[in-house]
Amino acid sequence: MRVLLAEDDPMIGASVRQGLSQDGFTVDWVEDGRAAELALANGVHDALLLDLGLPKRAGLEVLGAMRRRGDARPVLILTARDAVADRVAGLDAGADDYMVKPFELDELAARLRALLRRSSGRATPLLSHGEVELDPAAHEVRRNGDPVALSAREFALLEALLARPGAILSRVQLEEKLYGWTDSVESNAVEVHIHALRRKLGADFIRNVRGVGWMVARVTRT
């Protein structure tokens, strides 16, 4: 999952990015409100972590403009303002969650996963598909109950495919899920990861639609 972090403090931004990366998120970090709006316009991020005291454009303004555009992506506010009135203002402006600094990285990651889960319309924390089960919090994948060892990128790719079964994701879309702005993308990286996943999960688990992209078939429940 790729998230946008809007935070003007360099130390906090670097730490949050590092911590969330360790939890399997792809994090893009901007340091002011205007840069956040530009990044949001791309539409590649699944969620926004928003500091309220941003230079150039305040966090609440960014959030308001986002909601007015009809952008429904989950937004989690990270701020030092802990007064009840501030929280109410933040949530009423369209935020989905509110965390007061200082916060725990584990809790941040858990809340982020919950937001992403709800935004994709699921109630269960597990993504399951046939005999394959993916646990985003524990970073585990099981096939028929047996753990399957996946690299971080393979895991992220599988998570992206399982989040929307039946949808075809292009190579560019998958790359966007896997790589932040600062990561360098190898030319056939997606193919390499797909190949590895097929080897570990079964050859026909991920289907290729030639010229379009990849998908996991929608499961017909029995």
Partner 1 sequence: MNSIRKRLLVWLLGGLLLAVAAAAIGTYLRAREEANALFDYQLKEMAASLTGAPFTTMPGGLPGSDNGNGALVVQIWDRNGVQLYLSQPRRELPQYAQLGFTTVQTDEGAWRVFSTYAGSQVVQVAQPERARRELAASMALRTILPLLAILPVLGFLIWFIIARGLQPLARVAAAVTRRSPTLLEPVAEHGLPDEVQPLVHALNGLLERLGRALAAQRNFIADAAHQLRTPLTAVHLQAQLAERATTDEERHRALADLRGGLERATRLSEQLLTLAREEPGVAERTMLSVDLSALAREVIADLAPVAQAKAIDLGLNASPTARVHGDPEALRSLISNLVDNALRYTPSGGRVDVGIAPGGDGNGVTLTVSDTGRGIAPADRARVFDRFYRGQAAVGNRVAQGSGLGLAIVKSVAERHGAEIVLGDGLNGAGLGVSVRFPPVRD
Residues contributing to the site for partner 1 (CB under 8 A): 8-12, 14-16, 18-19, 22, 31-32, 55-56, 80-81, 101-106
How big is the CA angle at 182 (ends 178 and 183), to the nearest 5 degrees? Answer: 45
Measured CA to CA, the distance from residue 101 to residue 116 in angstroms comes to 21
User: For partner 1, which is the closer residue by CB, 5 or 190?
Assistant: 5
Closest CB 82 distance from partner 1, rounded Å: 9
- Which lies closer to partner 1 via its Cβ, residue 16 or residue 27? 16
Q: Where are the beta strands (DSSP E) in 95-196?
A: 97-100, 127-129, 132-135, 140-143, 146-148
- Element containing residue 90 per DSSP (H, E): helix 84-92
Minimum distance, C-beta of residue 114 to partner 1, in the bound complex (Å): 19
Closer CB to partner 1, 104 or 191, in the complex:
104
* Chain centroid to CA 99: 18
CB of 144 to partner 1, least distance (A): 30
User: Toward partner 1, which CB reaches closer, 106 or 186?
Assistant: 106
